[in-house]
Chains A and B, each alone.
Chain A
Amino acid sequence: MSENHLPPAHGSAVEQPSALQPTRDPGATLPDLLEVLLNKGVHLNLDLIISVADVPLIGVNLRATIAGIETMIEYGMMRQWDDQTRAWVQRSLSRHLPMADGEEVVAAMAASHLRDDFQRIWRPGRAYLTTHRLIVHRRDPAETLWQTRLDSIASAESYTEPSVGGEDRMRLKIVLHDGSVARLSALDADRLLTLIRQQRQVPGGAQAESAAAEDQGPRMRGTMWYLETFAQGATWRGGKATLTREGMLTWKSPLDNRASLRIEPAQLKAVHLEKHSNPTSQAQVLRVETTSGEVRLAGPDLHKWHQLLHDDTESGQEVDHGAGSQ
């Protein structure tokens, strides 16, 4: 990224021959002009208006559909639709797998249970994780191969073992409070394990923390103001900041098409809290120094953001001692 953002200097009287000239050619700009004139400009309202751009262009007419969907969401129709679909799945399932009142399926996937009495045999079926139980069920011929109540689970962890075919397969080991052990395999064992833990906050094996954390979005995400610099002065703009697990800090306004701020871990040099006027009720803002300049952010939980980013710079190459401005 170059920091030389100035146009090339010209000593001669020639007027910026290198500057791209904007075009006003109606052939090229007509669609843009139409769009702007139909959607922008002063909208008078009050009761003295007859009409605001009610033009029979198909683009405009199609937009009415969007308004319709918006209304649907507003009135929760989508949710109702979603609930109905879920209820239907629930009903069709309950025909072969009886459920308790208020019990709901959280996840289902192809799985097997290891029967380990007089002979070791993997019996295939489907694993159902419900709000109450973990079940391995075979549909045809119908048989519940294994099940437990979630509150009977003492621990759940994953391990790998070579399968008959010689490949390493991931298995789940479920230990119950009564000391019995069940072994399962599942199509997406990782996900099943994560969900079991989420559902019951089961204390896992050694790497419980990291495995559960793997699956959950960014490290931190929240409302944030970003100070954007213009030709004259700067403006605080509202949006969302995200710190990903990989340590990338982004900020995006809901009105923009892409994130305006994107700081890779390697670009992050230092963070400071400093006094600076901003739209929040707090006096301090976060100043983030990067390899290509600095940016200012303001918002709730600033200390937590500062802490996280500060730790990142510490674990990186630079150590910052000047952050204690509080």
Chain B
Amino acid sequence: MSSETLYVYAIIPAGSPAPTGAGINGSQLHTVEAEPVSAVVHTHHAGPYEGPDEDVKRWVLEHSDVIEECWNQASSVLPVSFNVMVQASETSGATAAEQLRGWLQDSGQELKQRLQELAGTSELRVEIALDAAQFPQNEPEVLEATRELAGKPAGVRRLLEKRLEKVQRRLTDAGADRLYPDYRMRLAAQCQQIQDYATTQRPEGTVSVLSAACLVDSERISELGAELTQIQQEQPSARIRFLGPWPPYSFVDIDAGAGSASTPQEGKSSAET
């Protein structure tokens, strides 16, 4: 594919300063504007980015750097996924820029509204897990299984340890079920929106209680942090990861156009008090 395409990084409010840094592989950035929004892009001459994992990682980071810069400079940003490109139309003969402008105009009001809603917010990720060895350490079942280990030959111990591990995980998982509602409620009280996600990283020997992307007023991140400190103090076997702040990647919530099979939408309806 040799025709000229536009690689899209982000959508920002029209009139925001264009990012000064470089894009993927040092490419030069510019904006395509269509009131009330504009798109941050570079002119691309090849197909999608493909290659070894190491290259993909680097490209994704360069992509995210551009979004970061937009996020720091513009009042608000809608991050666009990696490897999204706009192509010239073969049927109408419209250039890539015209195609993109057309899409921005069609979805302009929706995009603008979401930009306003996300202004001044950050995404933080909270992962709370329980140490499966520590959490149930005083449960009778665990004490019993531990006692059984003593004085047994190595082979038997190997099996008994496996069983102990199973017991620990089951008890910890039941504990996680009990703790989740409280943690969820306390985090939600500090957030504008919350979205559970499946953890990609599980530290060895832990059971996940809650993994959530949190949309937070950028001024109030420390309040969320304080709540987590509180949780840590109450529950010494909790292992907490607190990541961010990032642009609101998980809360873009826009599926422009029709009939795509992209990320599932939250089952939400009206907000009210």
Q: Is A24 located at the chain interface by the 8 A CB criterion?
A: yes
How many interface residues does chain B have, given as a range? 35 or more
A235 to B268, CA, bound (A): 7
Q: Is B220 located at the chain interface by the 8 A CB criterion?
A: yes
A43 touches B255 (CB 8 A): yes
Taking A20-B225, A49-B87, A233-B273 as contacts, is the C-beta distance between A258 and B267 under 8 angstroms?
A: no
Number of chain A residues whose Cβ lies closer than 8 Å to a Cβ of chain B = 70
Of all chain B residues, which has the CB nearest A43?
B262
B60 touches A34 (CB 8 A): yes
A234 touches B79 (CB 8 A): no
A53 touches B225 (CB 8 A): no
Q: Is A179 located at the chain interface by the 8 A CB criterion?
A: no
A160 to B264, CA, bound (A): 54
Of all chain B residues, which has the CB nearest A30?
B57
Interchain nearest-CB distance for A67 vs B (Å) = 9
Interchain nearest-CB distance for A63 vs B (Å) = 12
Q: Is A255 located at the chain interface by the 8 A CB criterion?
A: yes
Q: Is A62 located at the chain interface by the 8 A CB criterion?
A: no
B249 touches A36 (CB 8 A): yes
Q: Is A259 located at the chain interface by the 8 A CB criterion?
A: yes
For residue B198, which residues in chain A have a CB less than 8 angstroms away from its CB?
257
Q: Is B159 located at the chain interface by the 8 A CB criterion?
A: no
Taking A54-B48, A254-B267 as contacts, is the C-beta distance between A231 and B81 under 8 angstroms?
A: no
A38 touches B60 (CB 8 A): yes
* One of B79, B225, B227 near A42 (C-beta < 8 A): B79
A231 to B216, CA, bound (A): 9
| Contact pattern, A 255-294, Cβ under 8 Å of B = 1, otherwise 0 | 1111111100000000000000101000000000000000
A236 to B165, CA, bound (A): 39
- 19 additional A-B pairs beyond A42-B256, A238-B268, beta carbons within 8 Å, are A19-B228, A38-B60, A40-B81, A43-B81, A45-B260, A47-B89, A48-B100, A51-B83, A52-B262, A54-B83, A56-B50, A228-B194, A231-B191, A231-B220, A235-B193, A236-B270, A257-B196, A260-B181, A262-B180
Chain A positions within 8 Å of B, measured between CB atoms, are 1-2, 5, 7-8, 15-16, 18-24, 26, 28-57, 225, 228-239, 253-262, 277, 279
Chain B positions within 8 Å of A, measured between CB atoms, are 1, 5, 8, 11, 47-51, 53, 56-57, 60-61, 63-64, 78-87, 89, 99-100, 103, 124-125, 176-178, 180-182, 184-186, 188-196, 198, 200-201, 208-211, 213, 216-217, 220-223, 225-230, 232, 234, 240-246, 249-250, 252, 254-260, 262-264, 266-273
